[in-house]
Amino acid sequence: MINLQHIERVFQVGDEEVHALRDVSMTATGGEYIAIMGPSGSGKSSLLNILGLLDRPDSGSYELDGTRVSELDEKEQARIRRHKIGFVFQFFHLVPRLTAFVNIALPLMLSGMKQAERQERVTTALAAFGLANRAQHRPDQLSGGQRQRVAIARATIMQPTVILADEPTGNLDRNAGIEVVEILEELNRQEITLIIVTHDPELGKRARRQILMVDGRIEDDR
């Protein structure tokens, strides 16, 4: 369902050209659990950005669920992100002034869903992630683990086919980290493709497939 072919990404830093991705090709089938690993600066976040349509490759093609998404315009790409891709970030990226409930409801709101229908979906999600009594709390009133659970609830509220997680435990203590990973793995068992970027080998080992990146290339894939 994911097919990347010969992806190149070059950034201009000052007057130097930095090759973030060099001829990256990979495929993934539905329901896979992949860890993208590598030292910092190896291009693993750049790869995740390409996979999440947050960035466009300079060349190469990207097919997602049979659609050549690399050729879609900005609006169509936004639609794909909304319906097929869920993001989980290291720094949670919750909107600080909004409650947990509203943060989870954001994707539904952007898609124009009616208030009543939204209410039901978000309430179900809150309960499913053990946040039922935290609905009206703002992010600064939540623990790190709770914040990441809100972020995961938000990432899954549109029932995406793939979840992209960038260092999802990087900002959590050990116990909260394990809890978050177990939630993500539970989602993977429900046939959602899970791609985690991490430099934590222990977390990487839990994935069924590891991709090692070095200097913008896929060094190892097993």
Q: Which residues pair with 212 in a beta bridge?
A: 37, 220
Mark the segment that binds another protein (CB under 8 A) among 70-78, 123-131, 184-192, 214-222.
70-78
Taking the C-alpha atoms of residue 185 and residue 105, their distance in angstroms, rounded to an integer, is 23
Q: Would you say 61 or 209 has its CB closer to another protein?
A: 61
Tokens of 145: 């683990």
Taking the C-alpha atoms of residue 88 and residue 203, their distance in angstroms, rounded to an integer, is 15
Q: Which residues pair with 38 in a beta bridge?
A: none
**Count of positions on this chain that bind another protein (CB under 8 A):** 34
DSSP letters spanning 139-208: GGGS-HHHHHHHHHHHHHTT--SEEEEESTTTTS-HHHHHHHHHHHHHHHHTT-EEEEE-S-HHHHHTSS
Q: Would you say 71 or 220 has its CB closer to another protein?
A: 71
Residues 78-137 that bind another protein (CB under 8 A): 78-83, 87, 89-91, 93, 95, 97-98, 106-107, 109-115
Residues 134-173 that bind another protein (CB under 8 A): 154, 158
Can you tell me which of 67, 124, 136, 143 binds another protein, judged by CB under 8 A?
67
* Interface with another protein, residue 54, by CB under 8 A: yes
* Interface with another protein, residue 174, by CB under 8 A: no
* Interface with another protein, residue 10, by CB under 8 A: no
Tokens of 123: 């309430």
Residues contributing to the site for another protein (CB under 8 A)? 49, 52, 54-55, 65-67, 74-75, 78-83, 87, 89-91, 93, 95, 97-98, 106-107, 109-115, 154, 158
